[in-house]
Amino acid sequence: MKNLFLGLFALCSIMRVSAQTDYSVASIPLAMRKNADAVVRRYELKFKVLSKGEAIETEHKVITLLNDQAADENDQAFWYDQIREIDDIEGAVYDASGKLVRKIKKKDIVDQKPFEEVFVDDTRYKRIKFPRLVYPYTIEYLVVKKHRGLMYYPIFEPQSAASQSVESASFELLAPDTLQVRYMEVNVLPGQKTGPLQWEFHNLCAFQAEPFLPVGYSGLPKVMSAPTLFKIEGYEGDMSTWASFGKFLQTLNAGKDNLPIETVNRLRQLTADCPDQECKARRVYEVLQNSTRYYFVGFGIGGWQPMPARDVDRFKYSDCKGLSNYTMAMLRAVGVPAYYALIRASEDEQNAQTPEFPNPWFNHATLCIPLSHDTIWLECTSQQAGFGFLSDFTDDRLALVVFPEGGKILQTPRYDESSNTIHRETAVVLAADGSARLQSKGSFRAIEQDIPAQLAGLPDEQRKKYLYQVLGISDFEITGLEIERNKDRLPVVLQTLSLEIPRFAAVSNKRLFLPSTLLSNKIQLPVPTALRQHPVQAHARGVTEDDTINITIPEGYTLENGIPSVSYSSVFGSFEMSGQYTSGQITVYRKLVLNSTVQPREKYEELLTFLKNISKADLAKLVLVR
Tell me the domain boundaries of the chain.
2-229, 241-411, 421-625
The Cα–Cα gap between 214 and 489 comes to: 26
- Exposure string over 425-459, b if 16+ CB within 10 A, otherwise e: ebebebeeebebbbebebbbbbbbbbebbebeeee
Task: Tell me how far apart the terminal alpha carbons of the chain are, to the nearest angstrom.
Answer: 95
Q: Per-residue pLDDT tens for 370-390?
A: 998 899 999 999 988 899 999
Q: Which amino acid is at 612?
A: K
Above 70 in pLDDT, residue 564? yes
At 506, the pLDDT band (50, 70, 90 cuts) reads very high
* CATH class, 421-625 region: mainly beta
Q: Per-residue pLDDT tens for 159-202?
A: 999 999 999 999 999 999 999 999 999 999 999 999 999 999 99
Above 90 in pLDDT, residue 569? yes
Helix (H) or strand (E) holding 170: strand 164-174
At 3, the pLDDT band (50, 70, 90 cuts) reads very low
Phi and psi at residue 319, in whole multiples of 5°? -100, -170
At 115, the pLDDT band (50, 70, 90 cuts) reads low
Q: Per-residue pLDDT tens for 223-280?
A: 999 999 999 998 999 999 999 999 999 999 999 999 999 999 999 999 999 999 999 9
Above 60 in pLDDT, residue 17? no
Work out the angle between the directed axes of helices 320-333 and 277-291 (0-180°, nearest 10).
140
- Mean pLDDT, residues 117-142 taken together: 87
pLDDT value of position 116: 61
pLDDT value of position 466: 84
At 459, the pLDDT band (50, 70, 90 cuts) reads confident
The Cα–Cα gap between 299 and 31 comes to: 47
- How is domain 2-229 classified at the CATH fold level? Immunoglobulin-like (2.60.40)
* CATH class, 241-411 region: alpha beta
Query: In this structure, are residues 360 and 152 in contact, taking their beta carbons and an 8 Å threshold?
Result: yes
pLDDT, averaged across the chain? 91
**Fold match flag (2-229 vs 241-411):** no
| Residue 566 Cα to chain centre, angstroms | 36
